[in-house]
């Protein structure tokens, strides 16, 4: 097992079918955090997040419903590219001034995956040569919108593979 500092945690939400909005994220402020690569064939990771108590109900709901959700985390340094996981809450414990949330997750998208998918999408859109390079750099810089479609595709693949269940579907 390898242990790293968890620098940021964002919970990603499904598209709102009524407003047709894309997947959105909710940044969760960390007091402290660790992430452990369990180095198993299943790519399981354990995340430990120390949070303000105001997040108790939010994570308690995921614990009680056993609902999976997608997260984006940065590891070791805030400036590192994020990795995307499908997680389940395994426990929520009370501390004096904070709560500790334990998540178990499977990594589904890494930095290299995003770059590969972005290049493939650009080629599929008809970009080539210098135009491909320029558009790749532009979209990578404007990460929010450019990566959104890629994350949505990864999300759909994860659901198809059975790692993610919609609300109310327990595994």
pLDDT of 102-154, one tens digit each?
999 988 865 555 667 777 778 888 989 999 888 887 776 665 554 556 566 66
Tell me: pLDDT of 5 over 90: yes
Q: What is the pLDDT of residue 24?
A: 63
Could you give the count of Cα atoms lying within 13 Å of 123 in the half-sphere of its Cβ? 6
Mean model confidence pLDDT for the chain: 80
Q: How many Å apart are CA 98 and CA 51, to the nearest integer?
A: 5
Residue 63, pLDDT > 70, answer yes
pLDDT tier at 16, thresholds 50, 70, 90: very low
Give me the CATH topology for the region 2-110. Answer: Elongation Factor Tu (Ef-tu); domain 3 (2.40.30)
Q: Predicted confidence band at 158 (pLDDT cuts at 50, 70, 90)?
A: low
Burial 49-75 (b: 16+ CB within 10 A, else e): bbbeeebeebbeebbeeebbbbbbbbb
All structural domains of the chain with their residue ranges: 2-110
């Amino acid at each position: 097992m390898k242990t790293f500092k968890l620098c940021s945690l964002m919970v990603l939400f499904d598209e709102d079918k009524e407003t047709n909005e894309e997947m959105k994220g909710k940044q969760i402020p960390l007091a402290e955090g660790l992430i452990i690569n369990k180095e198993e064939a299943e790519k399981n990771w354990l995340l430990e997040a120390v949070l303000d108590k105001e997040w108790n109900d939010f994570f308690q709901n995921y614990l009680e419903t056993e609902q999976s959700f997608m997260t984006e985390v940065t590891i070791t340094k805030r400036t590192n590219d994020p990795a995307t996981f499908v997680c389940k809450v395994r426990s929520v414990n009370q501390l004096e001034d904070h709560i500790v949330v334990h998540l178990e997750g499977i990594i589904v998208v890494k930095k290299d995956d995003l770059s590969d998918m972005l290049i493939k999408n650009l080629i599929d859109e008809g970009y080539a040569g210098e135009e491909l390079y320029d558009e790749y750099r532009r979209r990578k810089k404007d990460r929010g919108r450019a990566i959104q479609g890629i994350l949505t595709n990864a999300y759909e693949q994860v659901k198809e593979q059975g790692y993610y269940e919609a609300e109310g579907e327990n595994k």
